Amino acid sequence: MKVVKVGLLGLGTVGGGTVNVLKRNSIEISRRSGCEVVVTKACARNITRERICDTDGIQLTTNPNDVINDPDIQIVLELMGGDEPAKSLILSALSQGKHVVTANKALIASHGNELFAAAADNNVTLAYEAAIAGGIPIVKAMREGLSANKIEWLAGIINGTGNFILTEMRDKGSAFADVLKEAQELGYAEADPEYDVEGIDAAHKLCILASLAFGMPLNFEKVYTEGISTITPLDVTYAEELGYRIKHLGVARKSDAGVEMRVHPTLIPEKRLIANVDGVMNAVVVKGDAVGSTLYYGPGAGAEATASSVIADIVDICRQLDVPSDKTVPSLGFISDQLQEIALLPIEDVTTAFYLRLSVEDKPGVMAGITTILAENGISIEAMLQKEPKHGTTAQVILLTNSVVEKGLIAALKGIESLDSIKEPAIRIRVESLQ
Amino acid sequence: MKVVKVGLLGLGTVGGGTVNVLKRNSIEISRRSGCEVVVTKACARNITRERICDTDGIQLTTNPNDVINDPDIQIVLELMGGDEPAKSLILSALSQGKHVVTANKALIASHGNELFAAAADNNVTLAYEAAIAGGIPIVKAMREGLSANKIEWLAGIINGTGNFILTEMRDKGSAFADVLKEAQELGYAEADPEYDVEGIDAAHKLCILASLAFGMPLNFEKVYTEGISTITPLDVTYAEELGYRIKHLGVARKSDAGVEMRVHPTLIPEKRLIANVDGVMNAVVVKGDAVGSTLYYGPGAGAEATASSVIADIVDICRQLDVPSDKTVPSLGFISDQLQEIALLPIEDVTTAFYLRLSVEDKPGVMAGITTILAENGISIEAMLQKEPKHGTTAQVILLTNSVVEKGLIAALKGIESLDSIKEPAIRIRVESLQ
């Protein structure tokens, strides 16, 4: 059987998991790929550190060039993360005719256009299934499984940390800060949680999913991003009373006006399958014009779940080792010269429904004031809760609006917030029906 | 742009849907595949009948040989269904070097081993994504997306008719026969519903999924099959009280003892995502040793959902038109000479938990008699409901057992049913925790 030598850059969680799965499942992987896949070299910052994997038979080095310049290595796995030196190393490996598999979502989102072009120029593959939603084969589903469709929209829970926090807030009624601390203690959240809870990580993944969906170059800087740190247990509870769950969603949608890419807390009807995706799990709903709604669910992180996607890419490459790259699946699912820039809609032009929570003085005439301003701005009310003050004189009014253009809603809120009876700025959270 | 000519066998629902989607999305399909895909000929039994699709530019014929013998046609779509003449036509098309795409689950399940060998012998592809779970790209997920894994088990709702009936029974408390009638009126169930409600259709799909999971030849005749016509509203209600939903599940599992393939009504904890898959929708959970649990959800039938999968196969073929077939993905995901027969476990040797409903005389000592026999057979009780008689003297006792080997349970039930106080044969439904 043909032997394919693999070199690793990075031997942390994902690298270690990949080595473990490649060894444990070597027979199945050979039976599927037709190749014996062997890791011969791995680069790590510290080669004496204890590892989660057995490194027997793997030559360890601290110099990444030992890996990418090795003429026997046909596939390089970039599992170190970060911008540089990952990017330069990938470019160098590609230029030497090596296939590259990466799990680096930030790098693909920010530099994928350049990297994919380099792969094509060198007639090799740059694969990145592990960059989005861990073990879920969502890149494959979008590039190949749904290739018959005009994709209308997609919506994903694509950050496990954020979903864990929102799930715990709902289940235990806890505040964001308390659950974040718990998540950090459990190892689900980083010491610096900004990347996860402010939606930057999700924005990287969403940007890639949007390009796969609509056939456009990657445009990371155009993703609108809003975090979950402002979500309160009160809003989680009121959403529930209205029949909704709050999820940190990445949404990409295409309409005649252009493409939306946005990451923000979102109310979803509790009946939707994705509203019931809890804990650290990920899921993506994709709506195609022919297929309708499909959903893909699984673990979004973890050593072996991510390794599952890394190795799926390796098997794909092994199956087509000498096939010219223009006869393999294009990096973004569309032939590269068929990618088209599409107008990206600024968030103020996006149309969604809204959940609004207003802190109002508990006296006659307040509701009339609010509803008049909403009506003047063409906004109708789909559902309402009114919560009398437990103590003091501040009541809570919770409204679900119809679908409105965001700038119209902001104008209406400006009017409402200028009313004497309104005590605090309105809380607003977008609502998606996902149908 | 390269033109790829396609010929259709069958111009009914799926064929018509495929023509419609190929026309409507021709630009996206070209941008993804690099080819202009054109249907040039279609064979139908009646060529003057009204169609759901526009047949402009398509030469219609009643003779399938006009399609498969046309030297310009590179891809034949077999969308007629049934055993013969579909099988002979596919073999003839393959032998002429044409790629074939089929949606015919019965044919693949029963004759796939022979058909796949013929495709390989002729260096062409026989693709069948549309044969399982309609628009869900589950074949691709299993053959490629999860290729790193030892698959431990899979469980699927893979017949939309059955799932519609069970969903309605729960939502409306209706009897099976009444809902079946409603489903027939809505066009969700055939006039002869046996194929769907007795699990034969699901068994075809399960057999293919099991071969994809475990790398074994297709073994349709070995699938254990039990239908849903015996499920009563009473059992649906009691399952619900215990925190479960009843679904018609196809389950394939591999253990040291062998492989199980079985289709039967199943209690699933209501917290599982798949327990919340309702109506005509399909979903498959796949458990891999590396990835953990993943789930794939979408419409299991319908003209355009099925067309989505047919066309995804066409795009795959177009992307690799001149690539030797041994460098494309193997038909069952494993290199053909790496498929291995695995012992298939007879149903009496399968281990599952059980839901039992016993109609008992409402008098002292009855429970003692039942529980003693269960204990003697090593069966423990995980949960119990007792329903006093509303009128008469017959009470209902509902038990959930631990996991037991089926023949052990049957032996225990024989003892229980011979007790004087037991009025009717026990109702038993398998329980799967799906974790």
Q: What pLDDT digit, counting tens, does each position of A63-79 carry? A: 999 999 999 999 999 99
Task: Please list every residue in chain A whose beta carbon sits closer than 8 Å to the beta carbon of residue B333.
Answer: 32
Range with the poorest average pLDDT among A118-132, A175-189, B27-41, B218-232? A175-189
Alpha helices of A232-342 — where are they, by DSSP H? 233-241, 303-319
Active-site pick, B87, B205, B247, B287? B205
Are B25 and A215 in contact (CB < 8 Å)? Answer: no
- The model's confidence at residue A277, banded by pLDDT at 50, 70 and 90, is very high
What is the number of CB-based contacts under 8 A between chain A and chain B?
226
Sequence-ordered strand ranges (E) for B124-222:
126-127, 151-157
Check if CATH label 3.40.50.720 holds for domain B2-135+303-338. yes
Residue A409: partners with Cβ closer than 8 Å, 6 or more residues away: A354, A377, A379, A401, A428
Interface test with B, best of A136, A147, A278 (most B CBs within 10 A): A147
List residues bridging with A2 in a β-sheet: A35
Mean pLDDT value across chain A: 96
Please state whether beta strands A281-288 and A292-299 pair in parallel, antiparallel, or not at all (unpaired). Answer: antiparallel
Say if the Cβ atoms of A296 and B291 lie within 8 Å. no
Q: Which of B135, B100, B128 is nearest to B21 (CA)?
A: B135
Residue A45 carries which DSSP code? S
| Residue B60 C-alpha, separation from nearest chain A C-alpha, in angstroms | 24
- Minimal Cα–Cα distance from B216 to chain A, Å? 11
Annotation says B205 is catalytic: yes
- Partners of A126 in the beta sheet? A100
- Residues B143 and B333: beta-carbon distance below 8 Å: yes
| Average pLDDT, integer, range A46-52 | 88
In angstroms, the CA B395 to CA B424 distance is 11
Architecture of domain B348-431: 2-Layer Sandwich (3.30)
Which of B73, B241, B311 is CA-nearest to residue A145?
B311
Minimum CA–CA partner of A294 in chain B: B298
pLDDT tens, residue by residue, A331-351 = 999 999 999 999 999 999 999
Percent helix, percent strand, percent coil in chain B, to nearest 5 = 40, 25, 35
B44 in Cβ contact with B5 (< 8 Å): no
Looking up tokens 């990835």 gives B291
Mean of pLDDT values over B406-424: 95
A318 CB-near residues (< 8 Å, 6+ apart): A4, A33, A34, A35, A37
Compute the CA torsion angle A193, A199, A205, A210 (nearest 10 deg).
180
Where exactly are the structural domains of chain B? 2-135+303-338, 141-299, 348-431
Measured distance CA(A398)–CA(A431) in Å, rounded: 13
Q: Higher pLDDT residue, B191 or B224? A: B224
Phi, psi torsion values for B116, nearest 5 degrees: -65, -40
Low-confidence winner among B112-121, B123-132, B283-292, B387-396 (lowest mean pLDDT): B387-396
Pairing of strands B351-361, B427-431: antiparallel
Cβ burial, residue A340 (10 Å; 0-12/13-18/19+)? exposed
At A309, is the secondary structure helix, strand, or coil? helix
Cα B125 from Cα B139, distance rounded (Å): 14
pLDDT score at A192: 86
Answer yes or no: is pLDDT of B125 > 90: yes
pLDDT band at B147 (very low <50, low <70, confident <90, very high): very high
Confidence class for position B243, pLDDT limits 50, 70, 90:
very high
- The yes-or-no verdict on residue B393 having pLDDT over 90 is no
Query: Which of the four pLDDT bands, split at 50, 70 and 90, describes residue B206?
Result: very high
Task: Choose the mutation target among B294, B295, B297, B435 for the interface with A, i.e. most A CBs under 10 Å.
Answer: B294
Rounded CA-CA distance A188/B399 in Å is 38
pLDDT in tens, A83-116: 999 999 999 999 999 999 999 999 999 999 999 9
At the topology level, CATH places domain A144-299 in Dihydrodipicolinate Reductase; domain 2 (3.30.360)
| Section B394-414 average pLDDT | 96
Which of B27, B28, B30, B39 to substitute to test the interface with A, most A CBs within 10 Å?
Answer: B28
| Cβ–Cβ below 8 Å for B312 and A273 | no
To the nearest whole angstrom, how far is the Cα of A274 from the nearest Cα of chain B? 9
Contact check, Cβ <8 Å, B292/A135: yes
Contacts of B244 (CB under 8 A, 6+ apart): B267, B268, B269, B270, B275, B355, B431
What pLDDT does residue A431 have? 98
- For residue B157, the number of C-alpha atoms closer than 13 Å in the C-beta half-sphere is 36
Say whether pLDDT at A190 is over 90: no
Look up residue B346 and give its DSSP letter. P
Is pLDDT above 90 for B390? no
Q: Does the structure's ipTM exceed the value 0.85?
A: yes
CA B231 to each of CA B228, B275, B312: distance values in angstroms, whole numbers, following the listed order: 6, 17, 37
Closest CA to A285 of A299, A275, A295: A295
Nearest-angstrom CA–CA distance, A107 and A123: 20
State yes or no: pLDDT of B20 exceeds 90.
Answer: yes
High-pLDDT (> 90) share of chain A, %: 93
Angle at A61 between CA A55 and CA A67, to 5 degrees: 95
In angstroms, the CA A133 to CA A297 distance is 9
Give DSSP secondary structure letters for B317-333: HHHTTTS-GGGS--TTS
Active site residues of A: 205
pLDDT band at A363 (very low <50, low <70, confident <90, very high): confident
Percent of chain B surpassing pLDDT 70: 100
Chain B residue nearest residue A138, CA to CA:
B145
> Per-residue pLDDT tens for B333-376?
999 999 999 999 999 999 999 999 999 998 888 899 999 999 99
**Is 90 exceeded by the pLDDT of residue B259?**
yes
* Residue entry with tokens 């203690």: A185
> Closest approach of chain A CAs to the CA of B308, in angstroms?
5
Instruction: Yes or no: say if A360 and A422 are a contact pair by the CB < 8 Å rule.
Output: yes
What's the CA dihedral at A227, A228, A231, A233 to 10 degrees?
180
* A144–B135 CB contact, under 8 Å: no
Radius of gyration of chain A (CA): 24
Fold of the CATH domain B141-299:
Dihydrodipicolinate Reductase; domain 2 (3.30.360)
Which amino acid would we find at residue B39? V
Reading the block at residue A406, the tokens are: 């965001």
Lookup result for tokens 């003047």: A376
d(CA A108, CA B395): 64
Q: What is the pTM of this model?
A: 0.97
Cβ <8 Å between A144 and B129: no
Give the least confident one: A15-24, A40-49, B105-114, B382-391.
Answer: B382-391
Please tell me what DSSP assigns to residue B124: -
Q: Residue B139 pLDDT > 90, yes or no?
A: yes
Torsion sign (Cα): A177, A181, A183, A184: positive
Query: Any idea what DSSP says for residue A256?
Result: T
As a whole number, mean pLDDT of residues A121-141 equals: 98
Cis peptide before A85 (omega within 30 of 0): yes
Query: Tens digit of pLDDT for each residue in B74-120?
Result: 999 999 999 999 999 999 999 999 999 999 999 999 999 999 999 99
User: Residue A290 and residue B150: Cβ atoms within 8 Å?
Assistant: no
Q: What is the pLDDT of residue B304?
A: 97
Mean pLDDT over each residue of chain B, to the nearest integer: 96
Coil, helix or strand for A133?
coil
